[in-house]
Chains A and B, each alone.
Chain A
Amino acid sequence: MQYLLSVIHDQDSLATPEEDAAIDVFNDRLRTEGHWVFAGGLASPDTATVIDSRGGEALVTDGPFLESKEYLAGFWIIEAPDLDVALKLAVAGSKACNRRIEVRPFQ
């Protein structure tokens, strides 16, 4: 079973060097314990471009699809046997990156 752990960013500053180091330690743990699938940090929402091809011709818009104080700053995709394991990992992940984390199962 795979879960998406979304890192919710709600402050002005980006990750500090201490947070980056803690994230590395957490990533190593995910790999050693066999939970690692994929992870990444995202550039700021200002860099986003939205495409809408539903009307036939592609409509290109500058900026994120949702203007909000909170945005997705990064994510992990993990493999876990059940939600209890995923939540435990999210607790450690939230501590490591010092941000809130949303845990959501893949279909």
Chain B
Amino acid sequence: MNTVDVREAVTRAHHEEWARVVAALTRRFGDLDIAEEASAEAFATAVERWRADGVPPNPGAWLTTTANRKAIDRLRRESKRGDKHKEAQMLYDSTPSEPPGAIDDDRLRLIFICCHPALAMEARVALTLRMVGGLTVPEIARAFLVRGTTMEQRITRAKAKIKAARIPYRMPSAGDLPARVSGVLAVLFLVFNEGYLASGPDTDPVRQDLTTEAIRLTRLIRALLPQDGEVAGLLALMLLIEARRPARVSSSGELISLAEQDRGAWDAELIAEGHRLVRERLAAAAAGVAPGRYQVLAAINAVHTSARDIRDTDWSQVLALYDQLVRLDPSPIIALNRAIAVAELDGPEVALAIVDGLAEVLAGYHAYHATRADLLRRLGRSRQSRAAYDRAIELAGNTGETAYLTRRRDQLR
């Protein structure tokens, strides 16, 4: 078999089977460390063996069997050396605990343990990308602009805490499930956002590897929890944002605002999929299921992606959705975004009054100053607008956004 085909087969198996192999081994051996190492070894072996023997008919089963063997080898080696081992075996609850609509899948247990609330947010992100996403430690380190050794330590520390504090490998109880799912979604949305608006002075404005990975993992959770409205909502939200990516950065690396984007460049397939999900959630809402914040955010994005031209945007619909969102999540950032819709309906002066009311809480947030700058510009208050742009540029961490804000500022005379 030729090398390219084998490499493709391994890559595909890695995408499709990594989480399944790690999850199965974690259950069998009760140890994330062993599961991770043995899975990685199994994939490395596949690269050699498949080249010599051909790709097996069931790559997933081959990988699981090989990984199991690697794990047993390691345990034998360690017991020969007399290592004290497996005293703190991870707790596995084998009683089927099926929350409504959930498939009993080890991958769900793996996701929930990686996103456990007792772990720091950055540890949850790193662990999820490593154990569920299968990204290598150097890849994750690059994605978050930290040194490889730092990321390695972060993951090692998280695994050690899981073991020492006995974080269990099981499905959350039905009562805990909504909160735990929302914790998982927060991790995935953070990964997505870091890709969508990458930070760092030398970083590309959009990190497609991260947005793609976040969408892939959210699809996996959607497959595992098909009845969960917020999972569907987050997936729709990511798809509708991702659909606009091709139009979001100019050839010179500057971010392009929604109003100026070439809507013909939007990804029609992703939009169609996102709209299907939003319609599904609207039907559920009509049947009396109250939507959560991701579903409302997805609906707002669907209003934008439904307009062929910025002038066709149904701003009253956008505002009505923001009003709904404010009731779910009364955060100042939501209030700021709501003000943008207010500006379209009631004019920039009304919007500016709302934005100015947020000064105290949002003074350190670049988007607050960028929004203010735009409203002041529309009101012809150029000097104040320029000052607000200055502040926004100072605070913005994204190279494409800095370029956009600088151009807007320099247009003011």
Question: Measuring CB to CB, which residues of chain A are less than 8 angstroms from any residue of chain B?
Answer: 1, 81-84, 87, 103-105, 107
Contact = CB atoms under 8 A, between A and B. Distances in A.
Interface stretch (B164-172, B233-241, B276-284, B358-366): B164-172
B118 A87 contact: yes
A58 B118 CA distance: 40
Contacts of A87: 118
A107 B168 CA distance: 16
Contact of B168 (A84, A104, A105): A84
Contact of A83 (B168, B172, B176): B168
Contacts of B176: 84
Chain B facing A: main interface SS = loop
Contacts of B167: 82-84
A104 B166 CA distance: 10
Contacts, number: 24
A78 to B, nearest CB: 13
Contacts of B166: 1, 81-83, 105
B91 interface: yes
Contacts of B118: 83, 87
Contacts of B168: 81-84
B119 to A, nearest CB: 11
Interface residues of B, number: 9
B91 A81 contact: yes
A82 B167 CA distance: 6
A3 to B, nearest CB: 8
Interface string B380-410: 0000000000000000000000000000000
6 contacts: A1-B166, A83-B166, A84-B176, A105-B164, A105-B165, A105-B166
Interface of B: 91, 118, 164-168, 172, 176
A103 B166 CA distance: 12
A71 B244 CA distance: 53
Contacts of A81: 91, 166, 168
Contacts of A83: 118, 165-168
B152 to A, nearest CB: 23
Nearest to A88: B176
A91 to B, nearest CB: 11
A1 B176 CA distance: 22
Contacts of B172: 84
Contacts of B165: 83, 103-105
A82 B91 contact: yes
Contacts of A84: 167-168, 172, 176
A86 B176 CA distance: 14
Contacts of B164: 105, 107
Instruction: Name the residue among B118, B164, B165, B176 with the largest chain A CB count within 10 angstroms.
Output: B165
A87 B172 CA distance: 13
A87 B119 CA distance: 13
A82 B176 CA distance: 15
B53 to A, nearest CB: 42
Contacts of A1: 166
Nearest to B90: A82
Contacts of A105: 164-166
Nearest to B87: A107
A87 B164 CA distance: 14
A104 B118 CA distance: 11
A6 B172 CA distance: 25
B10 to A, nearest CB: 36
A107 B167 CA distance: 14
Contacts of B91: 81-82
Instruction: Name the residue among A84, A105, A107 with the largest chain B CB count within 10 angstroms.
Output: A84
Nearest 9 A-B pairs (CB), nearest first? A82-B168, A105-B165, A82-B166, A83-B165, A83-B167, A82-B91, A83-B166, A1-B166, A105-B164
B410 to A, nearest CB: 50
A105 B164 CA distance: 7
A50 to B, nearest CB: 28
